[in-house]
Structure 1
Amino acid sequence: MEKISFRLSVVDDYPPVSTERVWAQKLTSGLFRIRNIPFYIMEVSLDDEVAVEVGTEGEYLFAEVKKESGNSTVRIIFFEAGVSEISAVLAAIVEMGGTWEGMSKRFFAVNVPEGVSLDNMLEFLDVCTEKEWLDYEFGMIRQ
C-alpha cells in the first residue's frame, strides 16, 4: 500500500487541511486503486483507479481518475443531539449496503457502492437531518 496526496481548495477554513493523503494499492498497470474512503477529496471514491505523478520528494501526487469504481462518497457530521444515535445510524448505513470510516467521534466518511441505492441512503440521512442529529455533504457522487 502507498499513500497518494491530493491537494485541496480551502474556502472559509474548510476543509481544515490543504492536503489529504489516502491509501492506495499499486496495480500492475501502474495505476493505483483507492483503498480508503476519502474524507475531504471531491475527485475520487473508494476503489477508483487513478494515475499519479511523482513529486519532488518522491511522493505520489494525484493526477487523474482513469477508471471510475461506480461508488459514491458522502460525509456525515453528528451534532450533539445525535451523539447517542451514532451507532444506530452507522449500523443502518451498513444494513443498507454502505461502509464507513471515522475521522473523529462525530465525523464519518461513507461509501455507497455501485448497486446500492444512493437515493435510499440519502432519504435515510434526510430523516436524520430533520431530527437534527447530523448533517451531510457529498464527495464524489456517481449513482
Structure 2
Amino acid sequence: MIKLWFQFVPREGWLPYDTEGLWAMPLTEDTARVANVPFLQDGVAEGDVVRFITNDDGRHWACEWVEASGNCTIRVLPSPNGPLGRSAQAVYEQLAPFGLGGESFSSELPLVAFTVPAGAGLGQMKTLLTRGQRDGWWHFEEACITDAWRSA
C-alpha cells in the first residue's frame, strides 16, 4: 500500500486542510486503486483508479482520475442538537441496514464518510439521508456520486 496525496482548495466554513492522504494499492508504476473512503477530497471514491506522480521527497500526488469504481462517497455529520447528538456510532446504526463501509473522522468532529457500492439500495438510502437531514438528525453531502445514485 502507498499513501496517495490529493491537493485541493479548502472550502470556506469547512475544515482548514488543503491536502488529504488516502491509502491506495499500486497497480502500475503510476496508477493506484484508492483503498479507503475520503473525508475531504471530492470527486473520488474507494475503488477508483488514479494516476499519480512521485515528487522528489517520495510523496505520491494524485494528478488524474483514470477509472471509476462505481462506488459513491457520502459524508454524514450528525447535528449536535439533533436526536443522535454528536454520535458517529448512532449514524452508523441508522445506516447499518445498507451494509456500508465507512470511517469516522474524529471524536471532536464526528463526521462519517461512507463508501456506497452500486446497487446498495440507493433509493432507500437517499430517502433516509434526506429525511434525516430534514428532521435535524444530520447534514449530508454527496462527495462523489454516480449516474445510478442520481437516478435513484
Instruction: Provide TM-score, normalisation by structure 1.
Output: 0.89
Q: Which runs of 5+ in 2 are unaligned?
A: none
Could you tell me how far apart the structure 1 residues matched to 2:21 and 2:125 are? 26
CA deviations 1:48-99 (Å, max 9, x no partner) are: 1111011231210001121110000011111122227643431342321322
Q: Which runs of 5+ in 1 are unaligned?
A: none
- State the SS of the aligned residue for 1:83: coil
Matched with 1:133 is 137
CA deviations 1:33-58 (Å, max 9, x no partner) are: 10110001112100111110112312
Contact 1:98 1:110 in 2 (8 A): yes
- State the SS of the aligned residue for 1:38: coil
Matched with 2:105 is 103
Matched with 1:122 is 126
| RMSD across aligned positions (CA) | 1.9
| Aligned-pair CA distance for 1:19 | 0.3
Contact 2:88 2:112 in 1 (8 A): no
Matched with 2:51 is 51
Q: Which amino acid aligns with 2:120?
A: V
Count matched residues: 143
Matched with 1:21 is 21
CA deviations 1:12-44 (Å, max 9, x no partner) are: 243420000000011257521101100011121
